[in-house]
Structure 1
Amino acid sequence: MLGEQFPWLTFLVIFPLLAATPIPLLPDRNGETIRWYALGASLAEFGLILYVFATQYEMGVSGLQLVDDYPWITQFGLSWSLGVDGLSFPLVLLSGFVTTLAVIASWNIQLKPRLYYSMILLMFSAQLGVFLAQDMMLFFIMWELELVPVYLLIAIWGGQRRQYAATKFIIYTATCSVFILVVALALAFFGDSFSFNLSELAAKQYPLAFQLICYLGLLIAFGAKLPIFPLHTWLPDAHSEAPAPISMILAGVLLKMAGYGLIRMNIEILPDAHLYFAPVLAFLGVINIVYASLTAFAQDNLKRRMAYSSVAHMGFVLLGLAAFNSLGMSGAMLQMISHGLVAAVLFFLSGVAYERTHTLSMNKMGGMAQVMPITFALFTAGAMASLALPGMSGFIAEITVFLGMATSDAYNVFFKAAIVMLAAVGVVLSPIYLLSMLRSIFYGESGEVKLPVDKSWEIVPREMFVAISLLIPIVGIGLYPKIAIQTYSLKTTEVSSQIHGTLPDVPNAAPLSKVMSVPGEEPVAAPSL
């Protein structure tokens, strides 16, 4: 059977890279040919993703499927190992969907179109490689490969401070990602066998102290990309300077790579360490939610406000991962999917507003609803999804995270109550900064920006297609969440059962200072918070 012989996942990863190769050679004067070629390539890749998962992937299987495993650089123990399961399946779909729409959103890009679309396709390959890699060194290579196109896309096509934003992005993410390499080597060399294969790494028995150190290193690496306070400061600068289509991919896909890494490596490979770091994740999640929500309200720059909103929403992912149950894990996955769609539509519409007004300052806008009523309606729908209005995907995701934390048996009732109440502050704050954003842009009198007398600024059909395409699954998941949940439920239940087994007889989490043990000794039971 073709599905058993053909390396589907390998083809998915390398196809965008292969498609980018001839772009410099294509005859083109005004970029039109390049745009259509890039759109055709991205549509073909997304169509291939849909075909492979519709015909070759079995939803009712929790283990790895469609595995491609070939020796690569045998001297260093590297293998080209790819596989898909419930953790990677929905994120691969999200990556294909958002990236394809970002190509459509890039239609007005005039500067160096060959390089621009080549970088988007290269980034597409790297994203898929991260989600599908089953070799930790291959994961690291794909993780690093993604940094290059993002840096160039911000540094060349960004705003006035693009060089600063791109440099800050590369310093934060590249420096912190070194921890992935160091931990990969430490895990591979540990014990009698040498391997970077994730399944083999997860099967090894590590001392608790060793696990804690590796967990911390990976948390720093993924925390810079998620991002987690205080490693978040690159994100508002990157978003405020990046072109809107790149912000769509940055918020919609790239941040999810970090959440995926936390589950795939921190939790699956180092479950004993997760017992002691889980309360830290809960605490950091609350800081993300409250701090970023308060900071978002103080931003006049539209995209910086959206960036801080992303930091706050990713805090719910941390809370879900800290809950130690399938409900929390499911909520974390659903929040990543939901935020990927919601952030993409809001950053895209922010770009639409910028193209008309040539400013991101909300104080300079105002009264735009009268000349852009359809844009106003779409922007409002996106904002409602972001503030977790019932009937939208964000509501289901956040309520699932809250229920997961509230019903967790890993903490005492006082800790759970404190975490839930503090996180609820963010739920209260999000309508404040989102509704005030809508008021500043669309209501009242016009600011310094002079509005046209007609509706010439109104959103065009191409832009409307991008926005509605993102809003449809947001509403669909909100009304019928099983659409998304069924893609990962078996795997998240399996992972949560695995980590739940690490809980002591009296299941309470513990501060890190009380759990460091000497290698070879029995782990100390976790004391109460």
Structure 2
Amino acid sequence: MSEALLIAVLALPAVGAAAAFFPDRAGRLFGTVLAALAFVASLLLGAYSQPASWFAYTPAAQGAPPIVPWTSVDTPWVPALDLRLHFGVDGVSYPLVVLTTLLTLLCCLYTLWHVPTGGRGSTLVALLLVVEVGMLGTFLALDLVLFFVFFEVVLLPMYAVIAGWGGERRRHAARKFALYTLFGSVLLLVGVFTVVAAAGTADLVTLTSGSVSLTRNTQLAAFALLAIAFAVKSPLWPLHTWLPDAHTQAPTVGSVLLAGVLLKMGTYGLIRVAVGVAPEGARWASPLLGALAVAAILVGCLVCLAQTELKRLIAYSSVGHMGFVLLGVATLTATGIQAALIGNVAHGIITGLLFFLAGAVKDRFHTGDLAVLGGLRERSPWLSGLLAFAAIASLGLPGLAGFWGEAFAVVAAFERGGAGWVTLGVLAAIGGALTAAYFLRMLRKVTHGAASPAVAAPPLPALRVSGMELVAWSPLVVLALLVGLVPAVVLGLSAAPVQSLVEAVTP
């Protein structure tokens, strides 16, 4: 049963992509139904393949490999090249699988109510579902070549989403996104070839188990290539400059998937592939990764303090948040990697909600300029309250999802010890304070004070939050609370594989 559900999670959105061939309204409805079925299948996949309580901490057996799939499918793909269709799910990948299916479903639901100008809604839904297939395949692939294939599947449909339904400078943003991603793809391909040629296998379970020995030079070269490739996708400073343009110009649903899940492909790949396959390279590069992570946190925060446009501010905030994720990974401790994993999930939930709300603001007032917006609390208290909730969750208030990843990334830096890591932890904590500063500045400009002319102009009925918007946003509000109050829903699943990964990396 679990194998059938694993296949269904990938197959259902692929079938849903046929929505492009339906009439517009029927196509959007068809795609949304298939997205809903994929979400249900992802929930059942966890229930059937991991029946034990998700909240119980189950330590890994001594010497257990980092990847022990709950369930897997393994069949020949290209026998002559020993390539296999090897898919599986475990506690590291499963939260991201559920996050992917949920956000895609919410985006498809959103298109039933609102289709951005630029093309048919059914085509947009079909492209979103193809992006979902690529993201899910990346999280489920247990073959390195298969991982690369799915990693690249998202490029063209996301390019089309930005170029077809984006803002005035959409084509420039889409080209920039494509060029940066292709640059990362070349490095990823060379890194994959380096590992597979040296190891004689592309199987990730075998490569991360320690049964295949790669030379030190091979590991250093492979880790450098893979880390840069994943840094482009995440994106991590200083390879982040495609992100603000893509987010600002993308339609709301494109921004939600881009920030909510697509960026996580890079950080997931860094943990699962780069660190797992080349642990010696990870140890060698960890101080540099830590320094780059803190630079990303501080640069992202300072740039956010200077932003004057709502979506660009949220986009640049992702640079800082991904910096905390990288800092956690760089420590190579169980605390740090757990912080990175829960930070990934929390960022997807909260930033997805922020982009939904930023899109709602722009739809109503036709601007995202912070200097023009103002007094939203007086005219639309529901929208203002939700925006405040999402901002406070993103700045890391205890009890909400954003707290755990950022706080424990700093703890992990102190735990690693030494003057250098303690300094990085202190600087990261300062970045956390600056995060609060720029989000509170944003709320002061957008929600407080007397209503600006732009906010006062629309009639009150146009400012009300619709039922479809509440349907699309409510699950993210609930999850931000749930993950914040009960972090074991994520950490309980990943504890054992993270413990095994850290044991494999520790010399």
Indicate whether 1:236 and 2:229 are aligned.
no
**2:102 counterpart (97, 106, 120):** 97
Contact 2:69 2:88 in 1 (8 A): yes
SS across alignment from 2:493: coil
Q: CA deviation at 1:453?
A: 5.1
Per the TM alignment, residue 415 of structure 1 is displaced from its structure 2 partner at its CA by: 1.1
User: Which residue among 48, 54, 59 is the counterpart of 2:41?
Assistant: 48
Indicate the larger mover: 228-237 or 74-83: 74-83
Matches within 5 A, 1:419-458: 419-451=424-456, 452=458, 454-458=460-464
**1:11 Cα deviation (Å)?**
2.7
C-alpha spacing 1:450/1:82, structure 2 compared with 1 (3 Å): closer
Does 1:152 find its partner at 2:160? yes
Secondary structure of 1:456's match? helix
SS in 2 for 1:64: coil
Aligned with 1:477 (options 483, 487, 500): 483
Please say if 1:320 is aligned against 2:328: yes
2:139 maps to 131
Q: Does 1:416 align with 2:421?
A: yes
Which amino acid in 2 is paired with 1:121? Answer: L
Percent sequence identity over matched residues? 33
Partner secondary structure for residue 240 of structure 2: coil
Give the whole-Å Cα distance in 2 for the aligned partners of 1:311 and 1:416.
20
Q: 5 Å matches for 1:319-398?
A: 319-398=327-406
Are residues 1:226 and 2:234 paired? yes
User: CA shift at 1:246, angstroms?
Assistant: 1.1
Match of 1:16 in 2: 13
User: Does the CA contact (< 8 Å) of 1:300 and 1:361 recur in 2?
Assistant: yes
Cα distance, 1:219 vs structure 2: 0.9
Q: Is the 8 A contact 1:387 1:394 kept in 2?
A: yes
2:503 pairs with 1:497 = yes
Q: Which residue does 2:71 correspond to in 1?
A: 66
In structure 1, how many angstroms separate the alpha carbons of the residues matched to 2:100 and 2:312? 23
Q: What is the SS of the residue equivalent to 2:368?
A: coil
Query: Using the alignment, how far apart are the partners of 2:496 and 2:391 within structure 1?
Result: 31
Task: Please give the per-residue CA displacement for 1:97-156, whole angstroms capped at 9, x wherever unaligned.
Answer: 111111122231163122111101111111110000011111111011111110000000
Aligned to 1:521: none
56-65 or 170-179, larger mean C-alpha shift: 56-65
Q: Per-residue deviation at 1:455?
A: 4.8
The alignment partner of 2:74 has SS state of strand
The residue aligned with 1:512 is none
Quick one: which of 286, 311, 316 aligns to 1:308?
Answer: 316
2:474 aligns with one of 468, 472, 484: 468
Which letter maps to 2:353? Answer: V
Q: Give 1:236 shift.
A: 0.3
Q: Measure how far apart 1:187 and its partner are.
A: 1.3
CA offset digits 1:61-80 (Å, max 9, x no partner): 87112211111112333211
Cross-structure match for 1:85 = 90
Larger Rg: 1
Q: Could you report, residue by residue, the CA deviation over 1:431-451 in whole angstroms, capped at 9, with x for unpaired residues? A: 111111112112223445152
Equivalent pair of 1:105/1:348 in contact (CA under 8 Å): no
After superposition, the C-alpha distances for 1:181-208 in whole angstroms (9 at most, x for unaligned) are 11111111115xx321112333321221
Map 1:162-201 to 2 at 5 A. Answer: 162-191=170-199, 194-201=200-207
Q: Match of 1:427, as an amino acid? A: G
Q: Counterpart of 1:123 in structure 2: which amino acid?
A: V
User: Structure 1: which 5+ runs fail to align?
Assistant: 503-529
Moved over 6 A (4+): none
After superposition, the CA RMSD in angstroms is 1.6
AA aligned to 1:69 is D
Uncovered stretches (5+) of structure 2, i.e. residues with no partner: 53-57, 61-66
Q: 2: CA distance between counterparts of 1:174 and 1:492?
A: 30
CA deviation digits over 1:17-68, x for unaligned, max 9? 12222x2443x3xx32222212111101100111121122355587112211
SS at match of 2:283: helix
- Whether contact under 8 Å (2:5, 2:42) holds in the other structure is no
Deviates more, 1:490-499 or 1:215-224: 490-499
The 3-state SS of whatever aligns with 1:86 is: coil
| Shift of residue 454, structure 1, vs aligned partner | 2.9
Deviates more, 1:334-343 or 1:441-450: 441-450
Native 8 Å contact 2:176 2:242 kept in 1: yes
Is contact 2:302-2:434 (8 Å) kept?
A: yes
Q: Residues 234 and 84 of structure 1: is their aligned pair in 2 closer, same or farther, counting only changes over 3 Å?
A: same
What's the offset of the Cα at 1:394? 1.0
Tell me if structure 2 keeps the 8 A contact 1:8–1:66: no
Residue correspondences, number: 489
**Would the alpha carbon gap of residues 200 and 284 (structure 1) be closer, same or farther in structure 2, given more than 3 Å must change?**
same
SS of structure 1 residue aligned to 2:72: strand
CA distance in 2, matches of 1:360, 1:454: 19
Q: Among 387, 401, 407, which residue is 1:399 paired with?
A: 407
- The TM-score with structure 2 as length reference comes to 0.93
Is the CA contact 2:198–2:218 (under 8 Å) kept in the aligned structure 1? no
CA deviation map 1:289-324 (0-9, x unaligned): 000100011111111100110110010111111122
- In 2: Cα distance, 1:322 partner to 1:13 partner: 31
Aligned equivalents of 1:450, 1:88: Cα separation in 2: 42
Cα distance in structure 2, aligned partners of 1:398 and 1:25: 44
Please, which moves more after superposition, 243-252 or 449-458?
449-458
Q: Quick one: distance in 2 between partners of 1:289 and 1:217?
A: 23
TM-score computed with the length of structure 1 as normaliser: 0.90
Amino acid at match of 1:466: A
Aligned partner of 2:64 in structure 1 is none
Pairing 1:261-280 to 2, within 5 Å after superposition: 261-280=269-288
